Chains A and B, each alone.
Chain A
């Protein structure tokens, strides 16, 4: 900011200053002394007048133009609603600086007993360290305290902690409003015999707060509960922890711990299901009714070929007994065949399966010591052939029906199996992708969320933070009216945006919200409280918010949270 320098400007005398004193004028201009009833305050009366005029004007206008049927009772109701809302807002604004929104739900203090004259080194459950020097406590008159003092300490590390504690996360720096992104907050208080005590003059408590955020962009602030604002005290010191505190970091730093996605239970379970599906397919196909045997098509004897009429055992060769008038034709491969063989009365003729099973046979002819082997083919002649063909056609038709049925059934089983395989593959690919994304995020987070100790010194008791003043998330801007699922406007003053990509709680005021902005690429939630009941807008509901004027229907959270951890589990923190 530009500076104007005056050197040795004439001073004003005390007499001149005294002349300008006018307490009566101050008293007259004061409108809110001692928080007297709202109805007695000038601002309230003027608001009533303004609201009434606005509503009456609207009603007259509507009646003139739209012929609405608003009655005096309607107007009275609207005026009453407006007045109730104005009173509600004023009451909200008058609330203390730290106002937990849900009764009975808050971050608990851990109480340490400290012998005042000895001091103490304490460790909080998060690993934070608190070092209290000797004689660090004083009463309201500045007298150094002796004996046992209760030090009450708590920390706030995420949006749920910030929300339930009611600690403001907005910061006014010379009129410019910021939203805090936090590397962690602490509250430290001291009591003796149930009475709050002060830090002794020239004494200070050193705190090393365990934090998930190692950045140096955070400043060190103290909450001024009177001015309702944070005071910047400078910078904290960031001290890396000796051992890597992040489980992610540990896992990635040890080769034996590297996660092989195929070895994960989820992936292996799907692989097992795949094998089971394959076995099931084989079993189902095997269980299908077998089609009848395919009939052998009868062959007609070739012109000029020699045949033998030999009786065969129907049990031994059932396929040769299907048709009547069976003959065995001498094949062309029998180069040594001589038609004189036809003139011999053979002692014995034996048939065996040939090289082409079902197609040819070996005929052995024996006469005394002479023995001939011929390759022969089953054939039919004349009417026998025609009859055989007719029989064959009938049998083949029956066979075809059963065959087609089986093929259709096998196809159905295969399709079911392939669908299962495709689903298993999709599930496994999703696991691989999720694993890759998680690994990428973890690597990214390692840069920002590796645990560190943030070190600072406090010379008075109260609430301190290591925060970074930032702007509201951007991307989509809308003007939102907040409703419940009964389509009624929620009577809420503060609406809190949780952006999972940022460690803060972005506060918007009043309903309708004059300007709600958020980053559509983040996972967002909206919280608000009406009469102590929590409502929320789910992450998926943000998908339909594209900007402009919007009615947002927030769902009541029916679950009763006993602890802050319950709420964290519910909202997946």
Chain B
């Protein structure tokens, strides 16, 4: 499992990044360092949610084109620039879903085992397939997003909160509620 998140940033990091963003608003070439920094994160975010690798690369390219075209509207809100890119990426992924009339879920078994452990259950193999079925069929989209980010992408609650624009605590509470719900269903 590759660690996706390079998300955590100190206040100094944020300030430096904001300076680059402001420079990129005036000179598009200055966007290059942001592109380098976030390309892989955004690609992995998209690839996690689509079926086809080439489609993920194309969508990643579109995210950065749209980001550059809209950067003059960007306002710093005390969170990493990546949260803004993630929102553009989320919109791009939704466009793909609409076109294909299908949503792809890439499940990592290690992540499913992590969920079962969090549920404090021991019958790992027994519950694995049941959870996969629920995720593939009936788990509501907003709940799927949380599970996907936490267990398949290994994101921190802080990062999830910033991407989804909810508090870290709220992300945590919601995730554990989903696990409780799943636990009741699979038992």
A9 to B91, CA, bound (A): 23
Chain B residue numbers with a CB within 8 Å of A370 are none
> Considering the chains assembled together, what is the distance between the CA atoms of A141 and B10 in angstroms?
9
Minimal Cβ-Cβ distance residue in B for A460? B165
Stretch at the interface among A11-19, A303-311, A332-340: A11-19
Name the contact of B169 in the complex, choosing from A6, A18, A140, A202 (C-beta under 8 A): A202
Given contacts A5-B107, A18-B40, contact A226 B69 (CB under 8 A): no
Interface size on A, residues (CB 8 A): 48
CB interface residues, B 121-164, toward A, < 8 Å: 132, 135-137, 141
Bound Cα distance from A140 to B25, whole angstroms: 20
Q: Which residue of B lies closest to A143 (CB)?
A: B11
**Interface pair A23/B32, CB less than 8 Å apart:** yes
Please name all residues of chain B whose beta carbon is closer than 8 Å to the beta carbon of A9 when the two chains form the complex.
Answer: 106
Q: Is A110 part of the contact surface with B, judged by Cβ < 8 Å?
A: no
- Bound state CA distance, A18 and B43, in angstroms? 10
**Contact pattern, A 158-201, Cβ under 8 Å of B = 1, otherwise 0:** 00000000000000001100000000000000000000001001
- Asked if A1 and B35 make an inter-chain contact with CB atoms under 8 angstroms apart, the answer reads no
Q: Is the pair B71, A6 in contact by a Cβ cutoff of 8 Å?
A: no
- Taking A3-B137, A6-B105, A6-B107 as contacts, is the C-beta distance between A202 and B167 under 8 angstroms? yes
**Cβ of B77 to closest chain A Cβ, rounded Å:** 7
Specify which chain A residues have a CB less than 8 angstroms from the CB of B44 in the assembled complex. 17
- A239 on the interface (CB 8 Å rule)? no
Which B residues touch A4, using CB under 8 A? 51, 102-105
Nearest opposing residue in chain A for B64, CB measure: A26
In the complex the two chains form, is A1's CB within 8 Å of B2's CB? Answer: no
Q: A5-B132, A23-B35, A142-B11 are in contact. Are A33 and B71 (CB under 8 A)?
A: yes
Q: Do A198 and B101 touch (CB < 8 A)? A: no
Which residue of A is nearest B166, CB measured?
A459
Chain B residues whose C-beta falls within 8 Å of the C-beta of A21 in the assembled complex: 35-36, 39
The answer, yes or no, to whether A37 is at the interface (CB within 8 Å) is no
Per the bound structure, the CA–CA distance linking A138 and B65 in Å amounts to: 33
Residue of B nearest to A31 (CB): B69
Tell me if A126 is interfacial: C-beta within 8 Å of chain B. Answer: no
Q: Does B176 make an interface contact (CB < 8 A)?
A: no
Q: Say yes or no: A3 contacts B102, CB within 8 Å.
A: yes
Say if the beta carbon of A264 comes within 8 Å of chain B: no
Contact of B87 among A30, A222, A226 (CB under 8 A): A226
A318 contacts the other chain (CB 8 A) = no
Residues of B in contact, count (CB < 8 Å): 64
Nearest B residue to A225 via CB reads B75
Q: Could you tell me the distance in whole angstroms from the C-beta of A362 to the nearest C-beta in chain B?
A: 114
Cβ–Cβ < 8 Å partners of B97 in chain A = 1, 174
A397 to chain B, nearest CB (A): 100
| Contact pattern, A 34-52, Cβ under 8 Å of B = 1, otherwise 0 | 1100000000000000000
Residues of chain B within 8 A of A225, CB atoms compared:
75
Question: Would you list which residues of chain B between 13 and 38 have a CB under 8 Å from chain A?
Answer: 14-15, 25-26, 28-29, 31-32, 35-36
Which single member of A11, A198, A202, A233 contacts B78 (CB below 8 Å)? A198
What is the distance, in angstroms, from A185's C-beta to the closest C-beta of chain B? 18
A27 in contact with B51 (CB, 8 Å) = no
For residue B66, which residue of chain A has the nearest CB? A30
Which residues of B are found within 8 Å of A6, using beta-carbon distances? 51, 104-107
- Chain A residues 210-249 with CB under 8 Å of chain B are 222, 224-227, 231, 233
Q: Is B182 an interface residue (CB 8 A)?
A: no
* Cβ distance A547 to chain B, nearest Cβ, rounded Å: 30
B44 to chain A, nearest CB (A): 8
Interface string of B78-102 (1 = CB under 8 A from A): 1000001001100100110110011
- Tell me if B187 is interfacial: C-beta within 8 Å of chain A: no
Residues of A within 8 A of B15 (CB): 141
Does chain A have a CB within 8 A of B5? no
What residues on A are CB-neighbors of B43 within 8 Å? 17, 20
Q: Is A501 part of the binding interface, using a Cβ–Cβ cutoff of 8 Å?
A: no
For the complex, give the distance between the alpha carbons of A4 and B107 in Å.
Answer: 10
- Any A CB within 8 A of the CB of B109: yes
CA distance A401 to B88 in the complex (A): 99
Q: Given the complex, which residues of A lie within 8 Å of B29, measured CB to CB?
A: 27
Shortest CB–CB separation between residue B17 and chain A, in angstroms? Answer: 13
Q: Would you mind naming 13 contact pairs between A and B with Cβ atoms under 8 Å apart?
A: A1-B97, A6-B51, A6-B106, A11-B1, A12-B47, A23-B36, A23-B64, A26-B61, A32-B70, A33-B28, A138-B78, A174-B98, A460-B165
B residues adjacent to A (C-beta < 8 A): 1-2, 11, 14-15, 25-26, 28-29, 31-32, 35-36, 39-40, 43-44, 47, 51, 53, 57, 60-61, 64-65, 68-78, 84, 87-88, 91, 94-95, 97-98, 101-109, 132, 135-137, 141, 165-170
